[in-house]
Structure 1
Amino acid sequence: MSEGLRVVAIADADSFVKWSASLLGSVDGIRPHLLLVQTPLTASVAQERTALAGAGIDPSAVSRIRFGEAAPWLEAQRPDVVLLAGRGPFVRLMGRVIDALSHRPVTVAGLPGMAIPAQRGALDYRRHVDLLVVHSHREERAFADLGRRIGVQVPTALATLPFARPRERMLSPERVRVGGAHGVLVEERSAPPHAAAGTSAAPAESATAHTSAPATDIVFAAQALVPVDHEERLEIASILVRAAKADPGRRVVVKLRSRPGEAETHLERDPYTALLDGRRPDNLVFSYGSMAEALSTAAGLVTISSTAAVEAVAQGIPVIALDSFGVSKSLLNTVFVGSGLLGGRSEVVAGRFRHAHPGWMRDNYFHPGIESTWWQRVEELVARRRAGTLPARRVPAARGGALHEAWHRASVLGAHDRTLGGRLALAAGVPATRLLGAARRGRPALGLDTWADATTDFTLEPNPFHDSIRR
């Protein structure tokens, strides 16, 4: 059935652009299109170009539109499937657009990387979609457990994380000492762990910019959300400086998601460009290119909890998931328990990177490709929709009526919402939500603290990041 199916991804922020384009790019025989809706988070042209690199979506199949143009565009194009790719409030807002269409497509949603712990808001905002894409057996269980706890049942289907695909890397033919003179681990440059990963090789990508460069870089995948604490982020900056000084012959590459003036999916309050200002050795550099480009010359990857770790594992690149500040849901790194990838400051400086345990990989993002049945599920849903046997899952009505809906729209669109109702709703709603948030934070936990509960892979309370979509 895939032949000729019209599939449209609707996205805004950079990570969702990369994920949705890569996910659709992995399906043969469809007619994909990427629709970028203007919000304060929408990827810049440069971010879009980086996100589409190697994704399998032709740049000509990308349109940028205002929110008010989305409904008529969808009415004219009549897609069979819409992939809603954005943060929860964006998905819900676009869901209301879908609800008003005369020709209703199958709706799919998902998260652009590792989703452990499964968070209440992530599921609740997507409760109206026909299918939720997850990327590991562990995530399947986590969202099922969460759904039972909060009474939200959304069908899920398993996909291979589209970034977890081996790529040809420009490696030196000889053995490369990861830690230079200080390192202990010596990496044998062999093929990526295809058999253990249970994935098929993707077509080799060109890396002409690195045709003669051996893979010696240490790449740090920076994250906006974790760690939150200023002193901990400053400590990470110090670790990177120490790693660079320990071996001036290797580069330490800080991989960033946005250039000055650009937005990204999550709000970063302590950017590493500022934390490292004036203290960078010459071999500590910033990179704004794609993660695939950064990994093409990487001997090892460092992160707290970035999905880049999965990208690296797929390519046989050793990883350190930094546990110097603990392992907890609030650091989003409990997914690495049992992986063999957790390590501390001294391991980073010495270059003692490590590979993931095969048992962990099978349950976490490296299942056999034959188990990734999400597209088969989508085709079944399309057939049911055409036959009239798939009822619409509509966005629940806002409890506050039209004013609440206006506030929600204005919160997502920011300055791109030029309606009077939106401005009035924000003027009234922003102070009210701040008071409500303060009141909630002041209440006793009533016996719940699922963010601190290490025995589960889901959370019930709001996340601790104070990461508003309003910028």
Structure 2
Amino acid sequence: MTAAPPGGGRLRIVAIADTDSYVKWSAALIGGATDRWDATLLVLETPLVVSEAQRAAALSGSGLAPDRVERIEYAALSARLRELRPDAVLVAARGPLVRVLARDVAAMRPRPVIMTGLPGISIPATRKALVYRTQCDLFVVHSRRELRDFTALSERTGFGARFALATLPFARGAAHGAAGTAGEQTGSDLVFAAQARVPATRADRLRVARMLVRAAEADPSRRVVVKLRAAEGEQQTHVEHDGYPELLSTLGALPPNLVTSTSPMNVALATAEGLVTVSSTAAIEAIARGLPVIALDTFGVSRALINETLADAGLLGSEEDVVARRLRHPASSWLDDNYFHAPDADDWEQATAELIARRRAGELAPRPALARRGGALRDAWERRVALGRSDTSASGAFAYAIGLPVRAVVRSVQRARRTLVPRVRAEHAR
């Protein structure tokens, strides 16, 4: 539904993001509505902020013009928001940073509508996602299942969050026919979508690297492309240990048809026969293009692997399936409930416009921050932890100087309790 601003004209939305995945997601979300919204993206300087190359990749195909994107230091953010006078602010960041930025935006007068969301597959719904975003007026989700699960969690935990549905931007405008059906196969690359945290251990990641070598050796005439999230020295939303370039370098001479790429995912998929991943949202991008997928089953199915919804789609495959390129399409019954609902089911624009109208009428009560101990000192500590050296305030430095040793003591006590409590219980059980 098209947003209808009171009094005519376009509603003004400003997104704030810093890392690669959130810049890509927020740019695509608001970039798809620029004919109806006056949209701006502020890329916030933090220790994990995108490089210029990552920013260009994130904006590729987003629909958001480069001149509507600007980098900004945290110290200048509040003043810039006052200049832009947004009707709504989309806080697109990791949870700890959302909590800090939502608190800042909530203090603006007049207060904009505060929106938030997650940049990909968000099943399972987690309490932590709600805790960090408690001051946000609207939480954007991307599937009927996410909407159902997050709503149930919010009601069960008493957070009372409001949710709205938006087609996952990367699934919008499928390049090849209907999502989930075989499109005209024009590419031959087997693209592997790397993830920073999945799988987690070096041994498991090395196993994946060996599988990719075997897949390349199985057919020297076709490429295996390891699609990386960042080039060396660049940051990601999640810190990556044991990156694939380093792991592959330990395996000796590599097949010449095994290559790495930091191109935008839409570019990598343009020459793909199919995609392999553990649980990357790139699977949704591939399905939207009509490309087949394998969700690697080597490490099982679990909440920690974020692959439950891909398992439900019937996309699980073994390492041998990958080597033989036995790719698959999702079950048709899975699509509507999982990221491929009809476009007219999307209601995030209408929900945002309604909240803006209520705000202008003085009928939108601000959502309070989550109650916790510490007051202003706690706020300063959280700001410094979320922003790192990008927080140049004296209060942040003071809170960090005090809080760092206190946190070390608390963590030592918690570790001791985890060790001692089982021992005490065992003694009592004897």
TM-score by length of 1: 0.83
Q: Closer, same or farther in 2 for the Cα pair 1:20/1:238, shift >3 Å?
A: same
Q: Closer, same or farther in 2 for the Cα pair 1:137/1:443, shift >3 Å?
A: farther
Q: CA deviation at 1:94?
A: 0.8
Tell me the SS of whatever aligns to 1:227: coil
Q: CA deviation at 1:150?
A: 2.4
Q: Tell me how far apart the structure 1 counterparts of residues 220 and 180 of structure 2 sit (CA, whole Å).
A: 36
Alignment partner of 1:230 is 2:202: yes
Q: CA deviation at 1:137?
A: 1.0
Q: Which residue of 2 aligns with 1:17?
A: 23
Question: Which residue identity lines up with residue 190 of structure 2 in the other structure?
Answer: I
Q: CA deviation at 1:436?
A: 3.6
Matches within 5 A, 1:390-409: 390-396=364-370, 398-409=372-383
Q: Tell me how far apart the structure 1 counterparts of residues 300 and 412 of structure 2 sit (CA, whole Å).
A: 27
Q: CA deviation at 1:441?
A: 6.1
Which of the residues 224, 239, 242 maps onto 1:270?
A: 242
Alignment partner of 1:218 is 2:225: no
Which of the residues 264, 285, 289 maps onto 1:311?
A: 285
Matches within 5 A, 1:53-452: 53-168=60-175, 191-194=176-179, 214-277=186-249, 278-396=252-370, 398-437=372-411, 439-440=413-414
Question: Which residue identity lines up with residue 228 of structure 2 in the other structure?
Answer: L
Q: Closer, same or farther in 2 for the Cα pair 1:246/1:88, shift >3 Å?
A: same
Question: Which residue identity lines up with residue 77 of structure 1 in the other structure?
Answer: L
Q: CA deviation at 1:368?
A: 1.0
Aligned-pair identity (%)? 50
Tell me the SS of whatever aligns to 1:270: coil
Question: Which residue identity lines up with residue 327 of structure 2 in the other structure?
Answer: F
Q: Tell me how far apart the structure 1 counterparts of residues 253 and 372 of structure 2 sit (CA, whole Å).
A: 50
Tell me the SS of whatever aligns to 1:228: coil
Q: Closer, same or farther in 2 for the Cα pair 1:100/1:332, shift >3 Å?
A: same
Q: CA deviation at 1:444?
A: 6.7
Q: Closer, same or farther in 2 for the Cα pair 1:349/1:196, shift >3 Å?
A: closer
Q: Closer, same or farther in 2 for the Cα pair 1:437/1:343, shift >3 Å?
A: farther
Q: Closer, same or farther in 2 for the Cα pair 1:323/1:442, shift >3 Å?
A: farther
Contact 2:75 2:392 survives alignment (8 Å): no
Q: CA deviation at 1:77?
A: 1.4
Q: Tell me how far apart the structure 2 counterparts of residues 342 and 353 of structure 1 sit (CA, whole Å).
A: 9
Q: Tell me how far apart the structure 1 counterparts of residues 307 and 148 of structure 2 sit (CA, whole Å).
A: 17
Q: CA deviation at 1:196?
A: 7.5
Q: Tell me how far apart the structure 2 counterparts of residues 363 and 432 of structure 1 sit (CA, whole Å).
A: 46
Q: CA deviation at 1:119?
A: 1.6
Q: CA deviation at 1:261?
A: 1.2
Alignment partner of 1:6 is 2:12: yes
Q: CA deviation at 1:434?
A: 4.4
Tell me the SS of whatever aligns to 1:127: coil
Question: Which residue identity lines up with residue 79 of structure 1 in the other structure?
Answer: P
Q: CA deviation at 1:431?
A: 3.9
Q: Which residue of 1 aligns with 2:425?
A: none
Tell me the SS of whatever aligns to 2:304: helix
Tell me the SS of whatever aligns to 1:337: helix
Tell me which protein shows more helix as a share of its residues: 2
Q: CA deviation at 1:253?
A: 0.6
Query: Which blocks of at least 5 consecutive residues in structure 2 are unaligned?
Result: 420-430
Q: Which residue of 1 aligns with 2:428?
A: none
Tell me the SS of whatever aligns to 2:312: coil
Q: Tell me how far apart the structure 2 counterparts of residues 287 and 367 of structure 1 sit (CA, whole Å).
A: 31
Q: CA deviation digits over 1:168-217, x for unaligned, max 9? A: 4xxxxxxxxxxxxxxxxxxxxxx4325979xxxxxxxxxxxxxxx94000
Question: Which residue identity lines up with residue 270 of structure 2 in the other structure?
Answer: S
Question: Which residue identity lines up with residue 270 of structure 1 in the other structure?
Answer: D
Tell me the SS of whatever aligns to 2:336: helix
Question: Which residue identity lines up with residue 330 of structure 1 in the other structure?
Answer: A
Tell me the SS of whatever aligns to 1:93: helix
TM-score by length of 2: 0.91
Q: CA deviation digits over 1:368-423, x for unaligned, max 9? A: 11111111111111111111111111334552122211111111111112233322
Q: Tell me how far apart the structure 2 counterparts of residues 64 and 393 of structure 1 sit (CA, whole Å).
A: 28
Q: Tell me how far apart the structure 2 counterparts of residues 10 and 401 of structure 1 sit (CA, whole Å).
A: 25
Q: Tell me how far apart the structure 1 counterparts of residues 204 and 318 of structure 2 sit (CA, whole Å).
A: 13
Q: Tell me how far apart the structure 2 counterparts of residues 414 and 23 of structure 1 sit (CA, whole Å).
A: 27
Contact 2:96 2:132 survives alignment (8 Å): yes
Contact 1:75 1:103 survives alignment (8 Å): no
Tell me the SS of whatever aligns to 1:260: coil
Q: CA deviation at 1:108?
A: 0.7
Q: Tell me how far apart the structure 1 counterparts of residues 75 and 178 of structure 2 sit (CA, whole Å).
A: 47
Alignment length (residue pairs): 408
Q: Tell me how far apart the structure 2 counterparts of residues 15 and 92 of structure 1 sit (CA, whole Å).
A: 18
Tell me the SS of whatever aligns to 2:123: coil
Q: CA deviation at 1:10?
A: 0.6
Q: CA deviation at 1:228?
A: 0.6
Q: Closer, same or farther in 2 for the Cα pair 1:443/1:134, shift >3 Å?
A: farther
Q: Tell me how far apart the structure 2 counterparts of residues 195 and 323 of structure 1 sit (CA, whole Å).
A: 20
Tell me the SS of whatever aligns to 2:80: helix
Q: Closer, same or farther in 2 for the Cα pair 1:244/1:227, shift >3 Å?
A: same
